[in-house]
Each structure stands twice: as structure tokens, then as C-alpha cells.
């Protein structure tokens, strides 16, 4: 496997961190209500705070930026794990239908227990990831069931089965949303497209425990993902309990995806683009690809959200649409590139 030098890897991280900081700065200071750097610093450091500035930064911009960063990191890292498990560079949480399964379960939860989006209380916000996990697991079980050939997962069938499962769960979510009143249906449609416009600190609190537990687990099993690239027989010959490890990694990935979908809706292509970029920059070792893929996903979602809320102002696009503008052509390119394999 190609292993770039540590100096190059540090340089890649430095460049990525610089881009993330630049997007963070631009997102925090620019918008409908522009603020100077001094005003932002005075507000953050509590030096002569102004109520209007507190409202803009702490209630609107900062939670949205942090949620976008966490969602991007989670989807990027989970995408790297799923591509490693399946040994398929076209694998992505959105394309495989896991996002759709988690999203459908969360829409059902909102419809049954709340009936509308604006009334979500604190308990509901923290319960949504659990429902998303159930939906994501159901989607994964169906994908596994229909993609197995002779007792093994067939990467060639995985994409087609995942797309079909995703359409099915998407239709279910749309049917349930049609049962809502017009206002809630409009909000549900925006949410399912992928949007973080209503982010708040409770959403951040609901995500952090999951990510702080699950991300280290998948990074700790990065060597297992490296061995998977030798094929299941090769990994078994080296003492890897392939089925158990595969299930553990998949369960962790679905947990990460579910908590991201619970606060952002169905944002696709982040888990496809980020690992590919990370592999080009850091080589194929998953101990480097997973965290770097997460950082690139963080940058992608943060930058796309800023574009979505400013470029088309006063109209605000869902961030999922902006990412899809880049993701769809890249997916077509990968299909063309791997046409001899699939």
C-alpha cells in the first residue's frame, strides 16, 4: 500500500485545518447581518457584549456551523469505513440506502410522537438518533440479505440493492410526510433533502456522545479494514474474525450515520467524496484515511452550507442540494471509471 511520509501527512492536515478555519471565519462573520472581526471577538470573549450580536452568533450561526462540522466529520468517517468493509469505491451511506432508512425512521418518529417539527422537545431531540439507528440497521439488514451470494457479500450487487432499498425508504418517508399538515410537510421535505438551517445547541448535545464513542472505535479497528483489502480469505488467514469485525464496524458506522441524519436529514455524497479525496492525499491506510476523510467531510459540509445560505440569498437552498451538484458528476465519473468491474 502507498504510505506517504509523515511530513506530507502533517502538511495535508495543516492545509485542511487552514481551510476549515477560513470557512468557519467567513461563515461566522458573513450573512444577512454582517459582522466585523472585532465584533465577533468581543461577543465570543464576552468583551462589551451586545444582545443583537449574541443572538446572531450564539443562537443562529455558531450552532449551525458546529452541527455542519460534526455531520460532515461523521459522514466522511463512516463513508471511509463502509468503503473499506465492502471493498467497493462506489459505496456510500446515501447511495446504499442507509441514510434513507434512518431518515424514514426519524420521520415516522416525528409523525407518531410529535406530529410537527417545531414542537420537538429535549427528550425528542435525544431520542431521534435511536430511531435513526433502528431505521439504518433495518436498511443494512435488507441490503445484506439481498446482496449475499453463497453466504458472502457481493460488492457487485451491493450498489444496485442499496439504490433500490434507498428508493423504498424514501417513498415511505414521503408517504408519511404527506400525512402531515402543509406546513410540516414543507419542512419535512426540506429536511429530507438535507438541511441544517434549524440547528441548535440541543442537536450538538445529542450528537457528541455518539461521535465521541463510535469514532474512536472505528479508528481503533483501522488495521482490520486494511486487512480486508486482501479479501476475506486473506484476512482470515491472518487471524481476523471477519464476520464479527464486519458486523461491529458496520454497526458503528450505522450509529454514526443515524445520529448525523437525525439532525441534518439525508445529506448524500459526503461519504463518497471525502474518503476518495483522503485516499489520494494520505494513501490507503485507514488509520489515516478515516480521520482525514472526516475532516474533508467537515470542510465540504461547512463550505456547502455557507454557499447554500449566501449565494442564492434571499432564497436558501438545502445544503444537500449544493453537495449533490458536485457529488452527482463525481459519482458518474466513478461509474465510468469502474464500468469494467460493476
pLDDT tens-digit series, residues 102-142:
888 888 887 877 644 444 556 666 777 788 888 888 988 88
pLDDT of 8 strictly over 50:
yes
Task: Tell me the average pLDDT across 299-324.
Answer: 87
Instruction: Give the rounded percent of residues in the chain with a pLDDT score beyond 70.
Output: 92
pLDDT of 216 strictly over 90:
yes
pLDDT of 256 strictly over 90:
yes
Higher-scoring residue by pLDDT: 125, 97: 97
Residue 53 is predicted with a pLDDT of 87
Q: Report helix, strand or coil for 152.
A: strand
**Look-up of cell digits 464576552:** 46
Task: Tell me the average pLDDT across 190-207.
Answer: 83
Confidence of residue 208 (pLDDT cuts 50, 70, 90): very high
Residue 64 is predicted with a pLDDT of 93
The model's pLDDT over 266-301, given as tens digits with 9 standing for 90+, comes to: 888 899 999 999 998 988 899 999 999 999 999 999
| Whether CATH 1.10.3470.10 fits 6-337 | yes
Residue 342 is predicted with a pLDDT of 46
pLDDT of 25 strictly over 90:
yes
327, 273 in Cβ contact below 8 A?
A: yes
Measured distance CA(200)–CA(198) in Å, rounded: 7
Instruction: Give the rounded percent of residues in the chain with a pLDDT score beyond 90.
Output: 29
pLDDT of 1 strictly over 70:
no
pLDDT of 314 strictly over 80:
no
**Look-up of cell digits 420521520:** 107
Q: For residue 315, what are the CA distances in angstroms to 34, 54, 223?
A: 17, 24, 46
Measured distance CA(76)–CA(252) in Å, rounded: 13
Average pLDDT, whole number, for the chain? 84
Q: Is the pTM of this model over 0.95?
A: no
Confidence of residue 19 (pLDDT cuts 50, 70, 90): very high
Higher-scoring residue by pLDDT: 340, 209: 209
139, 169 in Cβ contact below 8 A?
A: yes
Residue 313 is predicted with a pLDDT of 74
The model's pLDDT over 321-332, given as tens digits with 9 standing for 90+, comes to: 899 888 888 878
Task: Tell me the average pLDDT across 38-44.
Answer: 88
Measured distance CA(322)–CA(299) in Å, rounded: 13
**314 upstream amide cis, omega within 30 of 0:** yes
Higher-scoring residue by pLDDT: 74, 340: 74
Residue 121 is predicted with a pLDDT of 59
Written as nine digits, the cell of 148 is: 449475499
- Partners of residue 148 on adjacent β-strands: 153
Residue 5 is predicted with a pLDDT of 73
Amino acid at each position: 500500500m502507498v504510505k506517504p511520509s509523515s511530513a506530507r501527512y502533517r502538511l495535508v492536515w495543516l492545509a485542511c485545518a487552514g481551510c476549515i478555519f477560513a470557512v468557519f471565519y467567513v461563515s461566522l462573520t458573513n450573512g444577512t447581518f454582517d459582522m466585523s472581526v472585532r465584533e465577533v471577538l468581543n461577543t465570543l470573549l464576552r468583551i462589551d457584549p451586545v444582545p443583537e450580536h449574541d443572538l446572531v452568533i450564539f443562537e443562529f450561526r455558531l450552532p449551525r456551523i458546529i452541527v455542519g462540522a460534526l455531520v460532515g466529520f461523521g459522514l466522511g468517517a463512516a463513508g471511509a469505513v463502509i468503503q473499506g468493509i465492502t471493498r467497493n469505491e462506489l459505496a456510500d451511506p446515501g447511495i446504499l440506502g442507509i441514510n434513507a432508512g434512518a431518515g424514514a425512521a426519524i420521520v415516522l418518529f416525528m409523525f407518531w410522537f410529535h406530529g410537527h417539527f417545531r414542537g420537538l422537545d429535549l427528550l425528542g431531540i435525544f431520542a431521534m438518533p435511536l430511531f435513526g439507528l433502528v431505521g439504518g440497521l433495518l436498511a443494512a439488514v435488507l441490503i445484506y440479505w439481498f446482496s449475499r451470494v453463497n453466504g458472502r457479500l457481493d460488492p457487485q450487487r451491493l450498489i444496485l440493492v442499496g439504490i433500490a432499498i434507498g428508493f423504498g425508504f424514501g417513498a415511505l418517508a414521503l408517504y408519511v410526510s404527506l400525512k402531515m399538515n402543509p406546513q410540516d410537510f414543507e419542512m419535512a421535505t426540506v429536511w429530507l433533502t438535507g438541511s441544517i438551517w434549524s440547528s441548535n445547541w440541543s442537536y450538538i448535545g445529542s450528537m457528541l456522545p455518539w461521535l465521541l464513542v463510535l469514532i474512536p472505535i472505528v479508528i481503533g479497528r483501522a488495521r482490520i479494514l486494511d486487512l480486508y483489502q486482501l479479501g476475506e480469505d486473506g484476512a482470515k488467514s491472518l487471524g481476523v474474525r471477519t464476520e464479527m469485525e464486519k458486523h461491529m464496524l458496520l454497526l458503528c458506522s450505522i450509529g454514526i450515520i443515524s445520529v448525523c441524519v437525525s439532525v441534518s436529514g439525508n445529506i448524500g455524497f459526503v461519504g463518497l467524496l471525502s474518503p476518495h479525496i483522503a485516499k489520494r492525499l494520505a494513501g490507503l491506510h485507514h488509520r489515516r484515511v478515516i480521520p482525514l476523510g472526516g475532516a474533508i467531510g467537515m470542510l465540504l459540509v461547512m463550505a456547502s452550507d455557507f454557499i447554500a445560505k449566501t449565494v442564492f440569498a434571499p432564497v436558501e437552498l438545502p445544503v444537500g442540494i449544493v453537495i449533490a451538484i458536485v457529488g452527482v458528476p463525481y459519482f458518474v465519473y466513478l461509474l465510468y471509471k469502474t464500468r469494467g468491474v460493476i
